[in-house]
Amino acid sequence: MNAPDRFEVAGQPKVPRVDHVLITEMVEPASRVLDVGCGDGELLQLLAERKGVDGRGVELQRDKVNACVAHGLSVIQGDADHDLDNYPDQAFDYAILSLTIQATRQPKTVLENLLRIGRHAIVSFPNFGHWQVRMRLLLQGRMPVTDNLPDIWYLTPNAHLCTIRDFADLCERAGAEVEQAVAFNAYGARLPIKWSLSMQNLFGEKAVFLLRRTCGPRAPG
């Protein structure tokens, strides 16, 4: 797939999001990729430029679908909660969900579909267990508003916020093997791999998980 022109802001190339860079590093060259909740296509474009992938996208908002198509990307309008059932098993090498799973209504079902559709699934998400979130809850007694979680609670699209520990537990329940997990801080620096899950959960603002399906989930629910 030919890479479209890079998105620009005020005449300057747009700096890729940190999770997009990490996701791109996890994807093998020339892979078949489905990006669910692809926004305006920045990740698909980055994957095309750096890894030469055969990329497809699904996006709920029509204006963002139009922006993707205008940049030469293959994107259709769809909803992660309802439309992934239409994709056959193992149709892609990677099924990706970047900073979107917390906005879905059925995160476990969505994750199971990603694992079914792709030989691998890659999920990035904001970490509600970060120390700043904990401090704001402790000191203010109110739902935090941070750079990572910018919306007031009654306006946010985030229906199911979770911590890194929560997501690791969901992976087990959904029958997913964690092949790689990376947490990073507000500056985009990766946290040391030797850190425990508790430390990653405390200091990581966001995380990216590379997964593959195992024989079956641990338990329902």
Model pLDDT, residue 14: 75
Q: Report strand pairing: 118-126 vs 206-213.
A: antiparallel
Return phi, psi of residue 107, to 5°: -55, -40
In the Cβ-directed half-sphere of 31, how many Cα atoms lie within 13 Å?
A: 24
Decide if 116 contacts 125 (C-beta within 8 A).
no
pTM of the entire predicted model: 0.88
Reduced to 3 states (helix: H, G, I; strand: E, B; else coil), residue 113 is helix
Model pLDDT, residue 114: 98
Model pLDDT, residue 72: 94
pLDDT by residue, tens only, the chain of 221 residues: 444 444 554 455 678 899 999 999 999 999 999 999 999 999 999 999 999 999 999 999 999 999 999 999 999 999 999 999 999 999 999 999 999 999 999 999 999 999 999 999 999 999 999 999 999 889 988 887 777 677 777 777 888 999 999 999 999 999 999 999 999 998 889 999 889 999 999 999 999 999 999 865 444 45
Decide if 1 contacts 52 (C-beta within 8 A).
yes
Domains and CATH numbers, the chain: 8-213 (3.40.50.150)
76, two tokens: 């259709």
pLDDT in tens, 17-42: 999 999 999 999 999 999 999 999 99
Q: What is the dihedral of CA 41, 182, 115, 49, to 10 degrees?
A: 30
Model pLDDT, residue 8: 54
Place of tokens 């402790």: 138
Decide if 68 contacts 127 (C-beta within 8 A).
no
d(CA 15, CA 199): 28
> Would the CA dihedral through 173, 176, 179, 183 be positive or negative?
negative
d(CA 102, CA 100): 5
pLDDT in tens, 143-166: 877 776 777 777 778 889 999 999
Model pLDDT, residue 219: 47
Model pLDDT, residue 4: 45
Interior angle at CA 121, CA 163 and CA 127, nearest 5:
15
